[in-house]
Structure 1
Amino acid sequence: MMQISEPYNPKNSLFNTMNRFIGAVNNMDQTVMVPSLLRDVEDVKTGAEGASNGGDAYYVQDGDMYSSYVLLKSIRNNIEWGVLHGDGGGDEKQLAAAAEGQDDVDVDLEKQFHFHLKGLHTVLSKLTCKADTLTSRYKEEISPLKKTLH
């Protein structure tokens, strides 16, 4: 039986976390009018920025912001429209094989659910920060261009 260990807080619900992520990516998508300009922008997050955004500081993988832009849009699309049936099939088979050998599968499933729910919440929160950072960096990069055009 699933037990609720914390009081209900809709702010921390997976649904709200997904909505914050989708909102951040939609904002990014509306702000970034010329995605190819992101190719030359460094994809780095400093400790101060991470702390000011309410999250832990983290360093993103090497590459240009354009790759991050494409990745964030792809993840948003997967959340909104679902994942293709061929994706992740191996993981599901491994989980099923591991569950067969256990006596109390329900307890194991509950633990797996909580583990993955917490992980998904953490990843979506970091991706939301990444989308917000990308949007801000794009605005910084495009600002001097706007001034020269006027």
Structure 2
Amino acid sequence: MQYTDVKNNQHSLFNALNRFITAVTIMSETIMVPSLLRDLPTEEEGNRGESTVSKQRDMYDNYLLLKSIRNDIEWGILDEHIKSDLESMKAREEDGDVGDLQQLFHHHLNGLYNVLSKLTLQANCLTNHYTKELKFNNLER
């Protein structure tokens, strides 16, 4: 497969990563004062009536989470996380629980793609909500 083929496939992991990183970058550039997110009410958006913002976190915590995930993607995961993952992987191999590696890879690839799609939607919604609130507050003045 050539590089241009990957670029044109909207369901590729490469494009999902790129969309997520772009959405978080736009969110970071738009939200000039992140602490204002603490005062914003959590807004439930979405086409299916689902909340795109995690119910356990406020908007500021979601902002920090999205930026942290982007940093992990761009710069890698801390050594402690890698060591614990390698240790658990080694333990599974010793137990004989390796399974079909291709099936395992496709399972994780599909999961990663779905998570990245949801995180991208979350970053876009957070950016839109912040922009709406700023416009609304400017109109009141």
Structure-2-length-normalised TM-score: 0.82
2:126 corresponds in structure 1 to: 134
Residues 43 and 63 of structure 1 are in contact (CA less than 8 Å); yes or no, is this contact kept in structure 2?
no
Percent identical among aligned pairs is 46
1:28 corresponds in structure 2 to: 27
Deviation readout 1:45-90 (Å, 9 max, x if unpaired): 34xx244xxxx93452233211111110111111111111111432
2:72 to 73, 78, 92: 78
1:57 to 26, 36, 50: 50
TM-superposed CA distance for 1:144, in Å, is: 2.2
C-alpha distance in structure 1 between counterparts of 2:100 and 2:35, whole Å: 46
Residues 50 and 58 of structure 1 are in contact (CA less than 8 Å); yes or no, is this contact kept in structure 2?
no
Q: What runs of 5+ residues in structure 1 fail to find an aligned partner?
A: 1-7
C-alpha distance in structure 1 between counterparts of 2:36 and 2:96, whole Å: 52
Residues 43 and 129 of structure 2 are in contact (CA less than 8 Å); yes or no, is this contact kept in structure 1?
no
1:114 corresponds in structure 2 to: 106
Deviation readout 1:97-125 (Å, 9 max, x if unpaired): 2123338x4x5322221121111111111
C-alpha distance in structure 1 between counterparts of 2:43 and 2:14, whole Å: 28
Greater than 4 Å deviation, 4+ residue runs: none
Deviation readout 1:14-36 (Å, 9 max, x if unpaired): 11000000010011011111111
Residues 70 and 23 (structure 1), Cα distance of their counterparts in 2 relative to 1, 3 Å cut:
same
Name the count of aligned residue pairs: 134
Residues 108 and 10 (structure 1), Cα distance of their counterparts in 2 relative to 1, 3 Å cut:
same
TM-superposed CA distance for 1:96, in Å, is: 2.1
Q: 2:62 aligned with 1:68, yes or no?
A: yes
TM-superposed CA distance for 1:42, in Å, is: 2.8
2:3 corresponds in structure 1 to: none
